[in-house]
Amino acid sequence: MLNTNSEYLRAEIMDVIRLFDAEDEDITHYFSYGANEYYNCIEYSGKFYDFTNEKQTENEIEYKRYAKRYAKIAVYKVLSEAKNLNFPYGALTGIRPTKLAYIEKAAGGDFRELFKECQVTEQNVEHVARILQVQEPYYKNAGGQDLFVSIPFCPTKCEYCSFITAPIAKTEKYVDNYVSCVEKELASVKHLLTDIKSIYIGGGTPFAIDARQLGRIYAAINALNLKKCEFTVEAGRPDTFTEEKLKLTKDFGVTRICINPQSFKDETLEKIGRKHTCADIYKAFERSEKYGFDINIDLIAGLTDENLSDFENSLKRAIELKPANITVHTLSLKAGAKLKESCNRLVIDDIGAMLALSRQMLTAAGYQPYYMYRQKYQAGGHENCGWALAGKECVYNIDVMEEIADNVAVGANAISKRVCPIGSQIRRSASPKDIPTYIEKVDKIIEERNELFSK
């Protein structure tokens, strides 16, 4: 149990405590501030630890930022020493390390110093530096809007995933109505898309719906008469690919699609509930390639019963296909996922080696890391990272992770975000995850989004 005299620091400190799986242990934290000095005292396992950091701050917001930062670092150092454990991103528990680096740079600081102070490993400081370099031209192009369309249907539910609530067999009856609501929403956002940078149809599995329904979505986007831009369809599961859907996708101007193996081992695919085989992956890739799409491949490190050599094999096979992008996810434990029912904490021996190997092999194959993010209960405290061949970076992914463009999002479980002007407070409007509730509330959702972007 954490006992602190500063309740507003509790959530941040708990994020660090959770990293060490120490939620049930007694930790007493005392914080005070005076004459530009932040003082943290921690009692843990019968010992006291004192930390003093000096920092001049300009206002309340800055003061709070540093109070949180120093409290987290103090708790991290105590637990790290006592348990003889280190994590790749140290006391950084947020989902956007690169965004933090940009904020530090904008404030005149050196992100490397900050990351080192937070006990981030040397390799990860350099990894982030590499990403910032690749992102530079995109970051300079901040502003405008991205359009997101959510298709929350999947053939089956994978054991690690919380994106959808049920397999399509249970939700199929809603698809036609769902598509009508998305059409209505799309027609309502035309006036918001004055400087569009990218379109992203995501999921779920957009190819899980039939070609006629998919075509209706494409036609509704087409009717907006947007200027030509990057257009991704996260088609997804290789078992949903058909010639008809691919042709339609090409005809409507899609430039980038995702074919997501997760693993190239049939046994694993079966265990995680993917219901497709390795042969399906190759078939989907072959069919898609002839249309000239930029292809992204998603892999996950740490899948059930996989070891380093299984993951190495998946990486090798993904690289052999020479897709424009390869995204390496680290398995994370999500509330609402089947995996959570049988496991409280992910302990995967080789996870650090898997991530290190992915960096080494992808770099050697000519890929560069171009965006990254982290999740709360991610194995070993690692990250998800997108890799791209030069010039093939996905604008949408960068914009979303760095929050440098407005996101106009339609469909169930979609969050529209107003981030412009950059640096202002980010505001959101979200739609329900449950499909019948979404259908029932669509008019209200449209109203709320209009309000979000009107002031």
Binding site for ligand SF4 (CB under 6 A): 154, 157-158, 161, 163-164, 203-205, 236-237
The CA angle 236-415-216, to the nearest 5 degrees, is 50
Q: Which is nearer to ligand SF4, 111 or 163 (CB)?
A: 163
Task: Select the binding partner of residue 331 from ligand SAM, ligand SF4, none (C-beta < 5 to 8 A, by kind).
Answer: ligand SAM
Task: Select the binding partner of residue 359 from ligand SAM, ligand SF4, none (C-beta < 5 to 8 A, by kind).
Answer: none
Q: Which residue has the tokens 């899609």?
A: 254
- Residue 329 engages ligand SAM in binding (rule: CB under 6 A): yes
- Residue 234 engages ligand SAM in binding (rule: CB under 6 A): yes
Task: Select the binding partner of residue 198 from ligand SAM, ligand SF4, none (C-beta < 5 to 8 A, by kind).
Answer: none
Nearest to 266 by CA among 219, 321, 303, 233: 303
Q: Count the neighbouring beta carbons within 10 Å of the beta carbon of residue 233.
A: 27
Does the N-terminal peptide bond of residue 386 adopt cis geometry, omega within 30 degrees of 0? no
Task: Select the binding partner of residue 111 from ligand SF4, ligand SAM, none (C-beta < 5 to 8 A, by kind).
Answer: none
Q: Around 270, how many Cα atoms within 13 Å sit in the side-chain half-sphere?
A: 3
CB 293 within 8 A of CB 232: no
CB of residue 328 vs ligand SAM: minimum separation in angstroms?
9
CB of residue 233 vs ligand SAM: minimum separation in angstroms?
11
CB of residue 163 vs ligand SAM: minimum separation in angstroms?
5
- Residue 332 engages ligand SAM in binding (rule: CB under 6 A): yes
Q: Which is nearer to ligand SAM, 77 or 146 (CB)?
A: 146
CB of residue 263 vs ligand SAM: minimum separation in angstroms?
10
Contact pick of 198, 213, 232, 260 for ligand SAM (by CB under 6 A)? 260
Task: Select the binding partner of residue 399 from ligand SF4, ligand SAM, none (C-beta < 5 to 8 A, by kind).
Answer: none
CB 201 within 8 A of CB 409: no
Amino acid letter, 279:
A
Q: Which is nearer to ligand SAM, 29 or 274 (CB)?
A: 274
- Residue 4 engages ligand SAM in binding (rule: CB under 6 A): no
Task: Select the binding partner of residue 318 from ligand SAM, ligand SF4, none (C-beta < 5 to 8 A, by kind).
Answer: none
Q: How far apart are the first and last CA of the chain?
A: 43
Task: Select the binding partner of residue 157 from ligand SAM, ligand SF4, none (C-beta < 5 to 8 A, by kind).
Answer: ligand SF4
CB 302 within 8 A of CB 352: no
Q: Is 360 exposed, middle or buried (0-12, 13-18, 19+ CB in 10 A)?
A: exposed
Residue 402 φ/ψ, nearest 5 degrees: -90, -10
Q: Which is nearer to ligand SAM, 93 or 378 (CB)?
A: 378
Q: Which is nearer to ligand SF4, 164 or 348 (CB)?
A: 164
Residues 6+ apart with CB under 8 A from 434: 165, 412
CB 398 within 8 A of CB 355: no
CB of residue 161 vs ligand SF4: minimum separation in angstroms?
3
What gap in Å lies between CA 240 and CA 100, rounded to an integer? 38
Task: Select the binding partner of residue 234 from ligand SF4, ligand SAM, none (C-beta < 5 to 8 A, by kind).
Answer: ligand SAM
What gap in Å lies between CA 317 and CA 424, rounded to an integer? 43
Q: 171 to each of 136, 201, 251, 304, 336, how far by Cα in Å? A: 42, 19, 28, 27, 17
Residues that bind ligand SAM (CB under 6 A): 154, 160-161, 163, 203-205, 234, 236-237, 260, 262, 298, 300, 329, 331-332, 334, 337
